[in-house]
Amino acid sequence: MLGLQIAAMREAIFLPEWGKLAVWLGGAAWVAIVWGVFARRGTPFGERLQRIDVTLRYIVIAVLVVIGTWSLIESGPVKEKWLAAKFLSYATLLAIGLYLRSVIKAWRVGFIELQRGPSESAEQLIALGIQRGRRGAWLFWAIIALTAYLGVAKPF
């Protein structure tokens, strides 16, 4: 939200006044949804909010990829190429975050299985989840570093 506001103020992105308002209101609503997921986890309402949150993440990923790619290839709404690349890196971070959520679900299944007693399949689920999670986390941090580099160096 703040980054888009600053980019619009710098005229690095075309964002009309109604667009700025929509970004702020949409961002505030999304934060409320995420807090609701946290506060109501384990309840039907919390699960419904979580489905909404995941759906929003897929939509934001698609929008960021379209705008970032369009702006890198042609004259899209993002006027500075480094900022368009940041759109793509942020979309990648959101996608990795969704991937890591799936890894965590596999851990949960393994731990539930372990509660019934030691089992080879539970240990394999957890070991595989740790391996997949570690790779995803390293990639996540590498993309965060790339995103920071793009914002500081503005290489293109």
Q: What is the mean pLDDT of the chain?
A: 93
**pLDDT exceeds 90 at position 105:** no
What is the reported pTM? 0.88
78 φ, ψ (degrees, to nearest 5): -90, 115
Tell me the sheet residues that pair with 13: 78
Residue 12 has pLDDT above 90, yes or no: yes
Longest dimension (CA), the chain: 60
The structural domains of the chain, with segments of one domain joined by +, span 2-153
What one-character-per-residue DSSP string does 78-126 give? B-SHHHHHHHHHHHHHHHHHHHHHHHHHHHHHHHHHHHT---HHHHHHH
Distance CA(91)–CA(47), nearest Å, equals 24
- SS3 for 10? coil
Residue 113 main-chain phi, psi, to 5 deg: -65, -40
pLDDT one-digit tens code per residue, 46-87: 999 999 999 999 999 999 999 999 999 998 999 999 999 999
- For residue 29, what pLDDT band results from cuts at 50, 70 and 90? very high
Whether pLDDT at 32 is above 90: yes
Contact 129, 78 (CB under 8 A): no
Mean pLDDT of 2-7: 90
Where residue 7 falls among pLDDT bands split at 50, 70, 90?
very high
